[in-house]
Chain A
């Protein structure tokens, strides 16, 4: 999956001359946490986050004349040294960037122009899409030996039961170094015949997979 498949292309921006108050209002109205700052030619020159805005605002417990702060141009508070992304970046790499740089937003630039934005929410949404049940289905976890052909052997059993596989995820096995957990979502309400078949073939089926509770 690449960034252009998950990025938001409708991007709300401001200019460096806009005030802190403009940023605050835009974040409230649009329910967003990040605003790219662009110049007249549409080149990205900075980024302001809800965190920057909160830091700039006066404490609500102290009485002081704060009007001037609200009217200050964003330029004074925005981050100028920003990390940018490209529409062809892999989503996995964006996740790595967020994790390592401890940031939560990546303006996406192509041909020198801002074309989109990706935030942690978009990444989480992609994760939900990958792991969720979008059609009625059961999920079966199976512990598999880490060697060639085991997945194919398992899937042959699914085919035998005429079971439509909707998604497969492979996880490292926290308990056993030489095996993996595969998690298969299958369109059927009664997976018992498949589970029996898998067990008869010597596979360890975790259904459900709740650590510490063995049944």
Chain B
């Protein structure tokens, strides 16, 4: 059995709204190039993406919506027809062959799933996936088809396994949460900036699931301007307690890299340090609870030059038990990409210190996050106390 596979096909870059849109899968190239330039990724590690079938997409999405996406991508709908489906907005503009491009991203995640669930590989990474805002009948927040929701349904139907979905994107993983809100065999855990200002606005601690699924949805909304220590404290305690409580067969992580201070779309103040730590704990717990079964996807991440390549490289390095380098990034990588980058690249694996001016209310922000954590985990802690 392989230790890990890396799903990639150049066609994944065809999921592209426009030159100026913040969602830009050029970050896949930047990341792979960085990994290759330190000899951490070889062609043997890479498996190609595949196109998801319509039947697979229908595991989650409404056939009418799929039809609309297809037509939109072939120039066959008016703006009025597309609007109710969330298509043709500034967030999700219509682009040529959008159905085909989106189906490929879904298939890439299914490819990762099959490698892990068939025992061909312990772990699998598809950085092209993680489009967690897609709804059953509506595009939302840059996401057309929700590859993660589809993949989890696919795991349920094909492999009958219990899935823990862990989402560390700075935006709430709403699409995946609502897909499995009533389902007790899938547990969703999302850590994100509070929705008071940030999209999508949901992800309150009181969203705990519904009916049979009550108690299998966990949300950890962080204050704006949250820094590394507070983020990691919440992540570690939340993940450890939830995984122990839910006991999944497989761990599925969404690795949006937009909680970083540089990210233009969010207000969290994390540094690259959290991206070193996030996959480390996921990896360790996947071995502890799931016999290693760990599927990781990408997600948000809108500073594609200074943040995403380093952050996402760290997932692959952790997955393959390679140490995360310190110090300078490879000279050739810096020289190659600096020519295109609109900002000076960060030349080291670490962030500059200090990264930003001190935040005035830091202590209160940490206090509030830790109070939030206690409330969000209370359901587990109460249950635990009842058994002892």
User: Contact at A213–B90, with CB atoms within 8 Å?
Assistant: no
A151 at interface by CB-CB < 8 Å? no
User: Contact at A139–B196, with CB atoms within 8 Å?
Assistant: yes
CB of B100, distance to nearest CB on chain A (Å): 23
- Complexed CA–CA distance, A137 and B174 (Å): 11
User: Contact at A188–B199, with CB atoms within 8 Å?
Assistant: yes
- Complexed CA–CA distance, A188 and B88 (Å): 12
User: Contact at A137–B201, with CB atoms within 8 Å?
Assistant: yes
A215 at interface by CB-CB < 8 Å? yes
- B323-363 interface mask toward A, CB cutoff 8 Å, 1 = contact, 0 = none? 00000000000000000000000000000000000011100
User: Contact at B361–A213, with CB atoms within 8 Å?
Assistant: yes
- Complexed CA–CA distance, A215 and B197 (Å): 14
- Complexed CA–CA distance, A164 and B92 (Å): 13
The binding surface of chain B is classed by DSSP as: loop
CB of A81, distance to nearest CB on chain B (Å): 37
The binding surface of chain A is classed by DSSP as: loop
A136 at interface by CB-CB < 8 Å? yes
CB of A169, distance to nearest CB on chain B (Å): 13
A38 at interface by CB-CB < 8 Å? no
Q: Sort chain B's interface into a size bin.
A: 20 to 34
- B216-230 interface mask toward A, CB cutoff 8 Å, 1 = contact, 0 = none? 000000011100000
A120-152 residues at the B interface, CB under 8 angstroms: 132-133, 135-141
B370 at interface by CB-CB < 8 Å? no
In the complex, residue of chain A having the shortest beta-carbon distance to the beta carbon of B174:
A136
In the complex, residue of chain B having the shortest beta-carbon distance to the beta carbon of A186:
B199
- Complexed CA–CA distance, A164 and B89 (Å): 9
Residues of A contacting B97 with CB < 8 Å? none
User: Contact at B224–A210, with CB atoms within 8 Å?
Assistant: yes
Using known A-B contacts A162-B90, A189-B140, A208-B267, determine if residue A138 contacts B360 with beta carbons closer than 8 Å.
no
CB of B318, distance to nearest CB on chain A (Å): 28
A1 at interface by CB-CB < 8 Å? no
Using known A-B contacts A136-B174, A136-B202, A212-B360, determine if residue A189 contacts B141 with beta carbons closer than 8 Å.
yes
B133 at interface by CB-CB < 8 Å? yes
- Complexed CA–CA distance, A164 and B265 (Å): 19
User: Contact at A161–B224, with CB atoms within 8 Å?
Assistant: no
CB of B65, distance to nearest CB on chain A (Å): 15
User: Contact at B265–A190, with CB atoms within 8 Å?
Assistant: yes
- Checking A137, A193, A213 against B199 with a beta-carbon cut-off of 8 angstroms, the contacting residue is A137
B63 at interface by CB-CB < 8 Å? no
Residues of B contacting A53 with CB < 8 Å? none
B119 at interface by CB-CB < 8 Å? no
- Complexed CA–CA distance, A190 and B133 (Å): 13
Residues of B contacting A133 with CB < 8 Å? 195, 200-202
A207 at interface by CB-CB < 8 Å? yes
Using known A-B contacts A137-B200, A138-B198, A215-B267, determine if residue A188 contacts B90 with beta carbons closer than 8 Å.
yes
In the complex, residue of chain A having the shortest beta-carbon distance to the beta carbon of B267:
A208
- Complexed CA–CA distance, A162 and B90 (Å): 7
User: Contact at B264–A192, with CB atoms within 8 Å?
Assistant: yes
Using known A-B contacts A139-B196, A210-B224, determine if residue A193 contacts B90 with beta carbons closer than 8 Å.
yes
- A155-193 interface mask toward B, CB cutoff 8 Å, 1 = contact, 0 = none? 000000111100000000000000000000101111111
CB of A92, distance to nearest CB on chain B (Å): 24
A21 at interface by CB-CB < 8 Å? no
Residues of A contacting B223 with CB < 8 Å? 210
User: Contact at B197–A139, with CB atoms within 8 Å?
Assistant: yes
B150-201 residues at the A interface, CB under 8 angstroms: 171, 174, 195-201
CB of B255, distance to nearest CB on chain A (Å): 18
- B130-142 interface mask toward A, CB cutoff 8 Å, 1 = contact, 0 = none? 0001000000111
User: Contact at A212–B361, with CB atoms within 8 Å?
Assistant: yes
User: Contact at A138–B224, with CB atoms within 8 Å?
Assistant: no
A209 at interface by CB-CB < 8 Å? yes
User: Contact at A138–B361, with CB atoms within 8 Å?
Assistant: no
Residues of A contacting B198 with CB < 8 Å? 138, 208
In the complex, residue of chain B having the shortest beta-carbon distance to the beta carbon of A191:
B199
- Complexed CA–CA distance, A161 and B141 (Å): 15
Residues of B contacting A164 with CB < 8 Å? 89
- Complexed CA–CA distance, A170 and B191 (Å): 30
User: Contact at B197–A208, with CB atoms within 8 Å?
Assistant: yes
User: Contact at B201–A185, with CB atoms within 8 Å?
Assistant: yes
CB of B177, distance to nearest CB on chain A (Å): 12
Residues of B contacting A137 with CB < 8 Å? 199-201
User: Contact at B141–A136, with CB atoms within 8 Å?
Assistant: yes
Residues of B contacting A189 with CB < 8 Å? 91, 133, 140-142, 171, 199-200, 265
In the complex, residue of chain B having the shortest beta-carbon distance to the beta carbon of A164:
B89
A–B pairs, 24, beta carbons within 8 Å:
A136-B133, A136-B140, A136-B200, A137-B199, A138-B200, A139-B197, A140-B197, A162-B90, A187-B89, A189-B133, A189-B142, A189-B199, A190-B22, A190-B90, A192-B22, A192-B265, A193-B90, A207-B267, A208-B224, A208-B267, A212-B360, A212-B361, A213-B360, A215-B267
8 further interface pairs, Cβ-Cβ under 8 Å (given A132-B201, A215-B267):
A133-B200, A185-B201, A188-B91, A189-B199, A190-B22, A190-B91, A208-B198, A215-B225
Mark B residues whose CB is within 8 Å of A.
Answer: 22, 89-91, 133, 140-142, 171, 174, 195-202, 223-225, 264-265, 267, 359-361
Q: Which 5 A-B pairs have the closest CB atoms?
A: A133-B201, A136-B200, A189-B141, A208-B197, A189-B199
